[in-house]
Copies of this chain bind each other. A is one copy, B any other.
Amino acid sequence: MTELLRVEHLNKAYGEVPVLQDISFTVNTGEVQVVLGPSGSGKSTLIRCLNGLEPYQSGTIYFQGQKVDPTPKNWQLLRQKIGMVFQSYDLFPNLNIMDNITLGPIKVQKQSKATAQKEALRLLDTVGLADYTAKFPRELSGGQKQRIAIVRALALHPDFMLFDEVTASLDPEMVRGVLEIMANLAKQKMTMIVVTHEMNFAQQIADNVLFLDDGHILESTPGKDFFTNPQTDRAKEFLQSMDF
C-alpha cells in the first residue's frame, strides 16, 4: 500500500475563528476515507483545503510523497490530479453536457477534441447517460446532473477524488443512482475522500472513518469498527442522532 496523500498539522481559521485544528491523517492508494461529523465541524473546509480552494494558515500536505507548495499556480496544476464533486450540482449552465465534461481535458490538459469526446462518451456510458451529450444541465434531473458532475471530474483521470455531500440536495429517490456510481468507483480501487450523511452507504464503502468535531479529528477508526463500536462518546451520540 503506497501512501497517496498525507496531511500534517493542518490549521485553518476564518479570521479569528479556528475551523480546522491540527489535522493530520494519511490516505493510501486505493483506499476510501469517509469523513463524518456534525454540521459545522469543518468537513467541507477540510475537503476544500485538500485541493487548494481554501488557503490554510499552517501545516503541510504531501501528495504522492511530494510536499505541496501552496501557491495558486501550483494548485492549478495539481487540481488535474484531484477530482472534486460538490453538494450543489455545479455543472456550467452555459455549456451542454459534452462541453461540460470535455472543457477540462481540452483546455487544461490540451487533449484533442476527438480524444476528449471519445473518453467522455465512454464515461457517460458507465453512468447510463450516453444519450445526454447534447442536452443542457437545466434539462436534467438533480440525480443526473450529479452523475455528470462525477463524470466531469473523472474525465481528467484524477489520481484521487473528493466528494462533499454529493447527495445532500437530491430527492431521496435520486440518491441511490449516485451512490451506486461512487460504490463502483470504490470497487475499482479509486482513492477517495468522501463526506456524506448517508450512514448505510458510509458503512458499506469506508475503509477508514475520520470523525471530525469542532475542527478536531476526534477519532480515526477503520470503517468496520466505527459504526458498530465508535471510540468516543461524541461519535456514539452522533451515530444515534443520525437515525430516528
Contact = CB atoms under 8 A, between A and B. Distances in A.
A241 B176 contact: yes
Contacts of A176: 241, 244
Interface residues of A, number: 19
B179 A238 contact: no
Contacts of A201: 244
- The count of identical subunits is 2
B200 A172 contact: no
Interface string A151-180: 000000000000000000001111110010
A39 interface: yes
Contacts of A198: 244
A206 B204 CA distance: 30
A166 to B, nearest CB: 13
Nearest to A170: B39
Contact of A39 (B39, B171, B238): B171
Interface in A29-59: 38-39
A206 B213 CA distance: 35
A233 interface: no
A213 to B, nearest CB: 11
A173 B243 contact: no
B244 A200 contact: yes
Given A179-B244, A201-B244, A38 B173 contact: yes
